[in-house]
Amino acid sequence: MYILIISRGYPSEKYKMNGIFEFDQAKALVEAGHKVIYAAIDVRSFRRKRKWGFESLTKDGVQIEAINIPCGRIPKSILDRIRIVALRILYKKIESKYGKPDIIHAHFINSGYITAKVFDDSSIPLVLTEHYSAMNQKTLSSYYKRLGNYTYPRMNKVIAVSKYLANGLSQKFNIEPLIVPNIVDLSCFKYNDNKRKKQNDNFIIISVGSLIKRKRMDMLIEAFYHVFGSHKHIKLYIYGEGPERKYLEKMIKIYSLTDQIFLMGLASREEIAKRMSESNYFVLASQLETFGVAYIEAMAMGLPVIATKCRGPEDFVTDKNGILIPPNNKDALIDAMKYMYYNHSKYDGKTIAYGIRKLFSPETIADRLEQIYKSVVENGGIQRDKA
């Protein structure tokens, strides 16, 4: 099948996370044997260094056709008009080089909107994956209401990356999204059958997340103090960086935990994976997670996790692989950390690792997308609502 992906941009050496979700899917689809053209419309500020104008390149086996226009902070309505013109021009180049695609798959509401505008009268089936958590806010801005009301009905199929997001879209826009999660690169996070440290050795807890308020590292430190403050063999390693560092350092000193809690800063995936292989469990007490990659990486190592019901982990954390607690609840966190200390060995690490890989592997996601594409194409695209 020939699939055209419409995206915000593509990952580069300097901006590794730019367009990463859609690009990971593109790679998986190529590996599954599909013809994929990755169309990138990048309208970020000129301060984001890149080649301006058109680009044509192959990256990780994916053929990228890009148009880079330095725009930055201009009114959203004007930015959308620029994107629409850019997509029209870029698509003409793509069709002349590669032919007409069997299906077009856009990612995020802004790319979906311009796709709906450009291909509104086209017979090509349209699919949109919604990643943007802001579309699930209780009160949407008039701008995003307009985009959603125009875009979603014009898609042959809408996909959401989580149940929470799917439910919100259903309630707000009267649609029925399918759920297909993002791909998670677990190449560095592999289960090791070696036994974890015994209780008479250092007992290691690990957390990974930016040092920002919504990650609630402050509550984690408080909970650790109440449960393990007098147990010197129990250590907490926190990986991540952010504006809360100084405040957290001060907390650690006040609680006399400098030999038990360590702020490790930014680290490579390999370094984090090594620490996880030495750890007994993972904990992250976020107020909000759109997805929750850090939990998934820990579980891929076979670690049980403590997570909050913060809109992401509910999709994959169960009583078989961890504990779900309410956000912003220190007492619940204290109870969970205490329970996990005494019961972590009851969790089957191999089963945890296998289950999480099955959910988020490139092969699983590519297979799910292929089923959706075939269903849409075989149904003749299904008449889109253009009202």
Q: What is the mean pLDDT of residues 274-282?
A: 96
Residue 308 has pLDDT above 90, yes or no: yes
pLDDT single digits (tens) 128-173: 999 987 887 888 999 999 999 999 999 999 999 988 899 999 999 9
Give the number of other Cβ atoms within 10 Å of residue 374's Cβ. 13
Strand stretches in 33-132, DSSP E: 35-42, 53-59, 62-68, 103-107, 126-130
199 confidence band (pLDDT: 50, 70, 90): very low
Which pLDDT belongs to residue 43?
84
Q: What is the mean pLDDT of residues 344-363?
A: 95
pTM score of the predicted model: 0.82
pLDDT at 386 over 70: no
Percent share of the chain, pLDDT over 90:
80
Q: How many helices (H) and strands (E) does the chain have?
A: 12, 14
CA distance 80 to 111: 9
